[in-house]
């Protein structure tokens, strides 16, 4: 605590000093000219691409790496999610995978020497009927077997942990219980992007923003390079770490992905007094919410029921969301919604991501994250880096290979989605 206060005091003093002296901030990541060749080219400067670059450099000493981003870093799904992290998944593979991610998130601020504002608030998934209570029990048992802190709680505990939630029998969807997952919480998503970018840059990675990949060169079944709006790069390894455009980027290498792209909308309110500590989810009401340290409520819902590349919000969504939130927390009726947005979710048939090799040698994917992308970024980056460095598929990502769709060996992670999609 003392240490935290010292850091806060130091940061405040340095802010004042910078503004009074007019000294320029030093760049957190540098601009580089595009090299003619790199050992690895990562397409997508979101949290997945940057994490992969960082772990390649830090864990494996592979630093001749370019991250190519067509806009600015974090402009896609990384800056458009609701910043929730958790590992209470339904399958043993999913639970183990996301638990490693949570472990990395917990110590990310230390690792990156950058405050990513991780807050372990606890994650509560409400059950409004017997069948969802049964699914919660199932998830709790799977989680416990994997050593993950997760249990079913009753309304008394729900009220104790989140007093603002209406647990009476008045609502249209009365609450019967909840899956309670203490290690879950929220992380400041932009800070995660900036922290990975800054750390990767300091290890020698080149980050190229405003640079779009327009073609991927493949010869004799193997990647040889990429063409970008900044010039051609020769490289033996290309990793597709994009979201929203993952099918289009993979098509450039001639690799088809079983993905459809759907917008996912979210919204934020004005800041009010803190009244909600945990992250709260209701699958039946299709809503999840949390309150930021600044006091804003952040809400999200299901993906839109159609494929699109639009990142605009709709009035229909805002109305439906507000109605559902008020079912849970009537006390928010006077709080104003100030902004809404959407991000693009790449949905696979089994709600699991696609990570690893493809039929084109040297072309790898880390895509298909649906609504789980932000949660999975640290582990996906770490494991993808390990795969690239060693050529051996790590156990944690083996269940998420592209060829599972050919083998019919799907992961069935739909049941762990926060809300029904
Ligand atoms: O799966 O926890 C989740 C989630 C929250 C927002 C989108 N997905």
Mean pLDDT by runs of 10 across the 421 residues of the chain is 49 72 82 98 98 98 98 97 95 94 98 97 97 93 95 98 93 94 98 98 98 98 98 98 97 98 96 97 94 96 91 92 94 95 95 97 97 96 98 98 95 73 64
Atom 8 in ligand 1: residue holding the nearest Cα: 371
Report the separation in Å between the CA atom of 281 and the middle of ligand 1, taken as the mean of its atom positions: 9
Atom 2 in ligand 1: residue holding the nearest Cα: 418
pLDDT confidence of residue 19: 74
pLDDT confidence of residue 20: 79
Pocket test for ligand 1, best of 123, 417, 420, 421 (most atoms within 8 A of CB): 417
**Exposed / middle / buried, residue 107 (Cβ in 10 Å: 0-12, 13-18, 19+):** exposed
Residue 88, phi then psi, degrees to nearest 5:
-85, 60
Kindly state the DSSP code that residue 153 receives in the 8-state scheme: E
Report the separation in Å between the CA atom of 362 and the middle of ligand 1, taken as the mean of its atom positions: 31
pLDDT confidence of residue 4: 47
Report the separation in Å between the CA atom of 49 and the middle of ligand 1, taken as the mean of its atom positions: 20
**Exposed / middle / buried, residue 263 (Cβ in 10 Å: 0-12, 13-18, 19+):** buried
Ligand 1 atom with least separation from CA of 123? 2
Rounded to an integer, what distance in angstroms lies between the CA atom of residue 142 and that of residue 8?
40
For 2, residues 6+ apart whose C-beta sits below 8 A from its C-beta are none
| Ligand 1 first shell, C-beta below 6 A | 82, 84, 86, 288, 300, 371-372, 417-418
- Classify each residue of 354-386 as buried b or exposed e, where b means 16 or more C-beta atoms within 10 Å of its C-beta: bbbbbebebbbbbbbbbbbbbbbbbbbbbbbbb
User: Positive or negative CA dihedral for 42, 45, 47, 53?
Assistant: positive
Output the pTM of the full model: 0.94
Which residues lie across from 65 on neighbouring strands?
Answer: 40
Pocket test for ligand 1, best of 78, 82, 243 (most atoms within 8 A of CB): 82
């Amino acid at each position: 605590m003392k240490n935290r206060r010292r850091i806060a005091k130091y940061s405040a003093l340095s802010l004042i000093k910078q503004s009074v002296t007019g000294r320029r901030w030093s760049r957190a990541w540098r601009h580089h000219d595009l090299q003619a060749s790199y050992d690895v080219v990562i397409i997508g400067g979101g949290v997945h691409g940057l994490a992969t670059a960082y772990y390649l450099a830090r864990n494996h000493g592979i630093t001749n790496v370019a991250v190519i981003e067509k806009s600015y870093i974090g402009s896609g799904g990384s800056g458009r999610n609701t910043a929730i992290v958790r590992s209470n998944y339904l399958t043993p593979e999913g639970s183990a995978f996301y638990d490693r991610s949570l472990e990395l998130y917990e110590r990310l601020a230390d690792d990156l020497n950058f405050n990513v504002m991780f807050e372990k608030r606890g994650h509560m998934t409400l059950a409004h009927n017997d069948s969802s209570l049964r699914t919660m029990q199932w998830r709790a048992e799977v989680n416990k077997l994997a050593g993950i802190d997760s249990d079913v709680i009753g309304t008394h505990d729900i009220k104790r942990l989140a007093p603002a939630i209406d647990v009476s029998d008045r609502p249209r969807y009365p609450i019967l219980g909840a899956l309670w997952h203490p290690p879950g919480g929220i992380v400041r998503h932009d800070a995660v992007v900036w922290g990975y970018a800054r750390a990767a840059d300091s290890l020698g990675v080149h980050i190229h923003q405003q640079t779009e990949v327009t073609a991927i060169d493949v010869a004799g079944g193997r990647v040889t390079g990429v063409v970008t709006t900044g010039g051609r790069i020769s490289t033996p390894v290309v990793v597709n770490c994009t979201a929203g455009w993952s099918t289009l980027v993979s098509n450039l290498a001639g690799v088809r992905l079983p993905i459809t792209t759907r917008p996912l909308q979210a919204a934020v309110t004005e800041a009010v007094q803190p009244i909600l500590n945990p992250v709260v989810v209701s699958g039946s009401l299709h809503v999840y919410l949390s309150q930021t340290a600044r006091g804003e409520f952040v809400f999200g819902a299901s993906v839109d029921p159609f494929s699109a590349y639009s990142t605009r919000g709709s009035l229909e969504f805002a109305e439906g969301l507000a109605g559902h939130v008020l079912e849970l927390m009537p006390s928010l009726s006077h709080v104003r919604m100030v902004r809404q947005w959407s991000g693009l979710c790449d949905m696979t048939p089994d709600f699991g991501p696609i990570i690893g090799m493809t039929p084109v040698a040297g072309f790898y994917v880390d895509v298909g994250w649906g609504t789980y992308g932000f949660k999975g970024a640290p582990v996906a980056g770490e494991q993808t880096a390990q795969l690239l460095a060693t050529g051996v598929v790590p156990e944690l990502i083996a269940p998420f290979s592209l060829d599972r769709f050919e083998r019919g060996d799907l992961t069935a992670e739909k049941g762990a989605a926060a809300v029904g999609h």
